[in-house]
Amino acid sequence: MNSIVEKLYNKENLSFEETKNLFTQIMEGKFQDEKIISLLESFILKGETKDELAGGIYVLRDKATRVNVSEDTIDTCGTGGDGKNSLNISTAAAIVLASLGVKVAKHGNKAVSSNCGSADVLEALKVNINLNANEVEENIKKFNFAFMFAPNFHKAMKYVGPARKKMGKKTIFNLIGPLSSPAKVKKQIVGVFDKKWMEPFAEALKENQVTNAFIVNSEDGMDEISPFAKTKVVELKNNEIKKFTIDPVSLGISLKNQENLKGKDALYNSKRIIEIFEGKVDEFSEAVSLNAAAGLVISNKSQDFKNAFDNVRKHLKSGQVKNFLEKIRS
């Protein structure tokens, strides 16, 4: 173990196996806070690699309370940290997808980098965020949707919590956390705050047996598929990684008012979600339709992004998603 630590201190990259060994020690409480801080700082100074991300994800998934789901289950969980403070797009998209028959194990937390995280808005929508593993499995079977509140499933994070709090900045855990689903989903949409992470994320997910993924970052800086600007996509499919761009203009979207996507507190954000679930068409509904369309493609429910987008748009406009929300409320 000392040789692995030395490598990191010397700004040498760790292999997948070395990172797994190091993170296993960290997540089993073998290091004091000061040591953890120095290790995390070393990752930041050196710059995290795809193998290090993959090793960290492997251990976080392995140490999490296991949730058993079918291989067609997906997650929509981004890194956050894009500074946009936008409405809860991926959370709303997750509910829309479930209403369309896609199984969704949504993994998330309370707000860290915004006013309102996925757990906050779901709580405001009266959706139960405190399910145990069995309840998550049952709800997915029954409703196609369940929320996994990260602190309830990642108990081993208690060993790094104090060190992260003392540091007060982003570390490798901000990158690997959203990719560490307790359900070990094989399909995932991940928004990233910086496009430099797109390919390493795809490679790290591939290493952890994820079969289908969209890693997205928009040209206007969102960690979502944007209705205002082109969005770069790195797609993982059939063990291959390819890149393409989603252009909202080519989908018939011509929106300019980004202020209409700004979020506030959980109550405000939940009201905006209910409005679009009732059929209101606005910037938010278009953003949710775009991101839900990605979920349909990843789930192999649609082969064509434009068709997927048109179908979600029509479904949202019908108001049927509001009825579905009533079903999943606790």
**Which pLDDT tens digit goes with each residue over 149-180?**
999 999 999 999 999 999 999 899 999 999 99
Residue 177 is assigned to a structural domain of this protein: no
Q: At what angle do helices 89-99 and 266-277 cross, to 10 degrees?
A: 40
Query: What pLDDT sits at residue 285?
Result: 97
Residue 67 has pLDDT above 80, yes or no: yes
E strands, the chain, in order: 74-76, 104-108, 145-149, 187-191, 212-218, 231-237, 240-246
Give kind and range of the element (H or E) at residue 268: helix 266-277
Establish if 37 belongs to a structural domain: no
Which stretches of 28-80 are DSSP H helices? 33-46, 50-63
Domain coverage including residue 87: 74-150+184-328
Half-sphere exposure (Cβ direction) of 44: Cα atoms closer than 13 Å: 13
Asked if the structure places residue 219 within a domain, the reply is: yes
pLDDT classification of 254: cutoffs 50, 70, 90: confident
The secondary structure of residue 262, as a DSSP letter, is B
Tokens 């997205």 -> residue: 216
- Whole-angstrom distance, CA of residue 144 vs CA of residue 139: 7
Helix/strand/coil for 247: coil
How many structural domains compose the chain?
1
Stretch 183-193: mean pLDDT, rounded?
A: 96
In a domain, 244, yes or no: yes
Tell me the backbone φ, ψ of residue 113, rounded to 5 degrees.
-105, 5
CB 27 within 8 A of CB 60: yes
Interval 200-227 mean pLDDT: 96
**Burial of 140 by CB count in 10 Å (0-12 exposed, 13-18 middle, 19+ buried)?**
buried
118-138 pLDDT tens trace = 999 999 999 999 999 999 999
Residues 277 and 88: beta-carbon distance below 8 Å = no
Average pLDDT over residues 79-102: 91
Residue 262, in any domain of the structure: yes
C-alpha neighbours within 13 Å on the C-beta side of residue 319: 3
Q: Which of 52, 60, 64, 68 is nearest to 14 (CA)?
A: 52
Q: How confident is residue 113, by pLDDT bands cut at 50, 70 and 90?
A: low
- Return d(Cα 62, Cα 59) in angstroms, integer: 5
Average pLDDT, the chain: 95
Contacts 24+ apart (CB under 8 A), 138-143: 139/328, 140/69, 140/73, 140/103, 140/104, 140/105, 143/98, 143/327, 143/328
Q: Is residue 56 part of a domain?
A: no
Task: Give the pLDDT band of residue 146 (cuts 50, 70, 90).
Answer: very high
Higher pLDDT, 2 or 215: 215
pLDDT of residue 88: 95
Contacting residues for 63 by C-beta, under 8 A, at least 6 apart = 27, 154, 155, 156
Contact present, 276 and 92 (Cβ < 8 Å): yes
Q: How far apart are CA 192 and CA 324, in angstroms?
A: 29
d(CA 273, CA 256): 20
Helix (H/G/I), strand (E/B), else coil: 105? strand
The domain spanning residue 263 has which CATH number?
3.40.1030.10
Domain assignment present for 176: no
Q: Is 314 exposed, middle or buried (0-12, 13-18, 19+ CB in 10 A)?
A: exposed
Give domain status of residue 93, yes or no: yes
Average pLDDT value for residue range 51-74: 98
